[in-house]
């Protein structure tokens, strides 16, 4: 797991530097932060994705990469804002 986490941090660093040059989906940045356990940053990026109308948000309720975030009230709040059903 430590190797995967190290690789994820490297990917995050590369992707973050790319945001200065090209468009990178805020949704995808949220996924990386969520995987690393950075829930606050993940929700900040998901909020940015909502503001920028990121089309990936339509997958919010079914994307297994976001499973770590589903139990947070912020997740359900975001799903409601998007207009998705909330359990």
Each domain of the chain, given as residue ranges in start order, spans 2-82
Separation of alpha carbons 2 and 47, rounded Å: 28
Q: Which two tokens stand for residue 52?
A: 């920028």
Helix axes 39-51, 73-82, angle to 10 degrees: 10
Whole-model pTM? Answer: 0.83
Q: What percentage of the chain exceeds 90 in pLDDT?
A: 64
Could you give the CA distance from residue 54 to residue 33 in angstroms, rounded to a whole number?
A: 17
Q: Tell me the pLDDT tens digit for each residue of 27-86.
A: 999 998 998 899 999 999 999 999 999 999 999 999 999 999 999 999 999 999 999 987
The vertex-65 CA angle with 24 and 14, nearest 5°, equals 35
């Amino acid at each position: 797991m430590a190797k995967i986490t190290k690789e994820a941090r490297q990917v995050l660093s590369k992707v973050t530097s790319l945001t200065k040059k090209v468009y990178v989906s805020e949704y995808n940045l949220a996924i990386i932060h969520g995987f690393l356990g950075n829930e606050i940053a993940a929700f900040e990026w998901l909020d940015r994705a909502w503001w920028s109308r990121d089309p990936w948000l339509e997958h919010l309720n079914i994307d297994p990469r976001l499973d770590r975030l589903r139990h947070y009230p912020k997740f359900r709040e975001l799903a409601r804002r998007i207009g998705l059903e909330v359990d």
